[in-house]
């Protein structure tokens, strides 16, 4: 047990770092202007949309208020549908006037218009839009879907809310898309006349990335490393041979967890400020945890000598605060899952870690008591009832 755990923690740590770098690199944009299109189509304006590997190319004809456009979505598989929409009277998906495309069964490319009325029951079925779409077609070329369409712009303005999306196919029909990350950041505005694109898509994805970094940093520090360090302190020090190694492992775990944890805590405070969520239970528990964690670090420096008669009280304080930190951390990580709403796998992975820690603790607790009782039998004169001395020294009852 003592041999395998220290290996798995660095592996978890490394895979979390890998996750962070993937999140950061996935949003890098590709060049927009160098794209060539079939049928000698040439578009004078082009913009890389902030998320979901999507590009909008178009020509705007002021004389008849039409737009010839190409919506290009890269990194697509044949089991995906893609859609791009204007929302004339609102934002987001409800009310979106969408162009939809996917490769249907038998490889036939489907491209049609769809008006989203109720987002809960929408299957993106074909229907007319609130404005005229004289032509629409699509093609699938080397992991890209390109929708070509001509729009007759409604009203008299040239700036519109836009929304774009990708999702999986279910048979020959679009199925529900993800409801997190880039899939909820894919909204903004487009001005067909001056080519400007606005929207908080970029900001939303940055915020999402910061939330993920916050979650990963705090989960590995407070949620994984700290309980591991506590297990080391509680169960390793019973064995005389592990002194003083357990102490150094414990201090190394807790202090590196504290440093990473404070970084994660800082990102959390900033996120809370930005999102206006500055009085949530999650935030208040986080601040409490920071205070208790800091207290533990200072308490380490102020701990009485092993032989000092007050050392016992210091130990009770140190264990009490330590267990409180672990319990509050677990509560707060689940509060964080509620706010962040990450892919289910993250929550399941964390539940798995908690359960394995719990199982390890129970096993080691039994083993420790077995070990201590056996040791007592061998030395019947010892008066100690507890495996640990008040002075924190291992093996004192032998
Ligand atoms: C709109 O005008 C442009 C050029 O001014 C023309 O090429 C295009 O065919 C017209 N579109 C429609 C649908 O009339």
Residue 317 lies in a domain: yes
**Is the pLDDT at 117 greater than 80, yes or no?**
no
Mark whether 97 and 166 lie in a shared domain.
Answer: yes
Q: Which H, E and C letters describe 306-353, residue by residue?
A: CCCCCHHHHHHHHHHHHHHHHHHHHHHHHHHHHHHCCCHHHHHHHHHH
% of residues, the chain, pLDDT over 90: 46
**What average pLDDT does the chain have?**
83
Q: In terms of pTM, does the model score above 0.85?
A: no
Cα of 60 to ligand 1 centre, how many Å? Answer: 9
Residue 137 lies in a domain: yes
* Alpha carbon 59 to its chain's center: 38
pLDDT band at 113 (very low <50, low <70, confident <90, very high): very high
Residue 156: φ, ψ to 5°? -130, 5
How many C-beta atoms surround the C-beta of residue 147 within 10 A? Answer: 23
Among 165, 199, 233, residue at a domain's last position: 199
**Residue 346, domain CATH:** 1.20.120.1770
Residue 134 near ligand 1, beta carbon < 6 Å: yes
| Number of domains into which the chain is organized | 2
**Residue 180, domain CATH:** 2.60.40.1210
Residue 248 lies in a domain: yes
| Closest to 325 measured CA to CA, from 288, 374, 283, 273 | 288
Mark whether 170 and 215 lie in a shared domain.
Answer: no
pLDDT of residue 171: 86
Q: Which domain holds residue 163?
A: 27-199
**3-class state of residue 13 by DSSP:** helix
Mark whether 135 and 278 lie in a shared domain.
Answer: no
Mark whether 173 and 254 lie in a shared domain.
Answer: no
Mark whether 195 and 72 lie in a shared domain.
Answer: yes
Mark whether 360 and 213 lie in a shared domain.
Answer: yes
What average pLDDT does this structure show over 239-243? Answer: 79
pLDDT of residue 226: 95
pLDDT band at 243 (very low <50, low <70, confident <90, very high): confident
Residue 130: φ, ψ to 5°? -80, -5
pLDDT band at 200 (very low <50, low <70, confident <90, very high): low
Mark whether 166 and 252 lie in a shared domain.
Answer: no
Among 145, 171, 199, residue at a domain's last position: 199
Mark whether 233 and 192 lie in a shared domain.
Answer: no
pLDDT of residue 380: 57
Q: In what order do the strands lie in the sheet with 45-48?
A: 45-48, 54-61, 66-74, 144-152, 135-141
pLDDT, one tens digit per residue, over 322-334 is: 999 999 999 999 9
Distance CA 127, CA 253 (A): 60
Residue 20 lies in a domain: no
pLDDT, one tens digit per residue, over 14-41 is: 455 445 444 433 333 345 667 889 998 9
Q: Which of 4-18, 256-270, 300-314 has the lowest mean pLDDT?
A: 4-18
pLDDT of residue 18: 45
Residue 182 lies in a domain: yes
Which residue from 41, 43, 60, 66 has its CB within 8 A of the most atoms of ligand 1, so it is best to mutate?
A: 66
Residue owning the nearest CA to atom 7 of ligand 1: 61
Q: Which of 100-104, 174-178, 277-281, 361-365 has the lowest mean pLDDT?
A: 277-281
Mark whether 139 and 274 lie in a shared domain.
Answer: no
Cα of 69 to ligand 1 centre, how many Å? Answer: 13
Which residue from 61, 68, 134 has its CB within 8 A of the most atoms of ligand 1, so it is best to mutate?
A: 61
Q: Which is the closest atom of ligand 1 to the Cα of 64?
A: 1
Residue 345 lies in a domain: yes
Mark whether 253 and 106 lie in a shared domain.
Answer: no
Mark whether 105 and 34 lie in a shared domain.
Answer: yes
Only one residue has tokens 């800082």, namely 266
pLDDT of residue 210: 83
Among 161, 177, 199, residue at a domain's last position: 199
pLDDT band at 123 (very low <50, low <70, confident <90, very high): confident
Residue 394 lies in a domain: no
Mark whether 146 and 260 lie in a shared domain.
Answer: no
Residue 66 near ligand 1, beta carbon < 6 Å: yes
Residue 64 near ligand 1, beta carbon < 6 Å: yes
Residue 378 near ligand 1, beta carbon < 6 Å: no
**Is the pLDDT at 388 greater than 80, yes or no?**
no
Phi-psi region of 237 (alpha: psi -120 to 50; beta: other; left: phi over 0): alpha
Residue 13 lies in a domain: no
Give, in order, the Cα–Cα distances in Å from 146 to each of 82, 254, 256, 362, 369.
Answer: 9, 52, 49, 57, 67
pLDDT of residue 26: 36
**Is the pLDDT at 186 greater than 50, yes or no?**
yes
């Amino acid at each position: 047990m003592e041999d395998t755990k220290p290996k798995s923690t660095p592996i978890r740590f490394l895979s979390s770092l890998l996750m962070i770098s993937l999140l950061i690199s996935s949003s890098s944009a590709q060049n927009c202007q160098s794209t060539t299109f079939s049928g000698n189509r040439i578009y004078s304006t082009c913009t890389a949309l902030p998320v979901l590997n999507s590009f909008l190319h178009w020509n705007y004809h002021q004389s008849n208020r039409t737009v010839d456009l190409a919506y290009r979505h890269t990194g697509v598989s044949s089991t995906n549908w893609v859609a791009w929409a204007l929302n004339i009277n609102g934002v987001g998906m409800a009310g979106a006037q969408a162009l939809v495309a996917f490769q249907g069964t038998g490889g036939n490319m489907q491209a049609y218009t769809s008006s989203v009325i109720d987002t809960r029951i929408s299957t993106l079925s074909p229907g007319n839009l609130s404005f005229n779409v004289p032509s629409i077609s699509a093609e699938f070329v080397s992991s890209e879907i390109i929708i070509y369409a001509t729009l007759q712009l409604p009203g008299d303005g040239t700036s519109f809310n836009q929304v774009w999306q990708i999702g999986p196919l279910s048979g020959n029909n679009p199925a529900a898309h993800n409801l997190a990350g880039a899939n909820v950041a894919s909204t903004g505005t487009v001005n067909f006349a001056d080519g400007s694109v606005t929207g908080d898509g970029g900001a939303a994805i940055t915020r999402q990335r910061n939330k993920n970094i916050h979650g990963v940093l705090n989960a590995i520090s407070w949620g994984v490393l700290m309980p591991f360090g506590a297990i080391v302190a509680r169960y390793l020090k019973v064995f005389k041979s592990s002194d003083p190694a357990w102490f150094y492992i414990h201090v190394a775990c807790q202090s590196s967890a504290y440093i990473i944890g404070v970084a994660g805590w800082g990102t959390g405070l900033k996120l809370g400020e930005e999102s206006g969520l500055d009085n949530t239970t999650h935030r208040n528990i986080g601040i409490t945890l920071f205070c208790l964690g800091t207290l533990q670090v200072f308490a380490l420096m102020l701990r009485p000598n092993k032989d000092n008669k007050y050392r016992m009280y210091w130990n009770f304080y140190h264990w009490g605060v330590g267990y409180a930190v672990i319990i509050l951390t677990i509560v707060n990580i689940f509060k964080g899952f509620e706010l962040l709403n990450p892919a289910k796998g993250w929550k399941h992975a964390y539940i798995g870690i908690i359960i394995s820690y719990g199982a390890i603790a129970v096993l080691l607790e039994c083993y420790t008591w077995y070990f201590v009782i056996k040791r007592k039998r061998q030395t019947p004169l010892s008066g100690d009832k507890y495996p640990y001395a008040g002075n924190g020294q291992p093996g004192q009852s032998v």
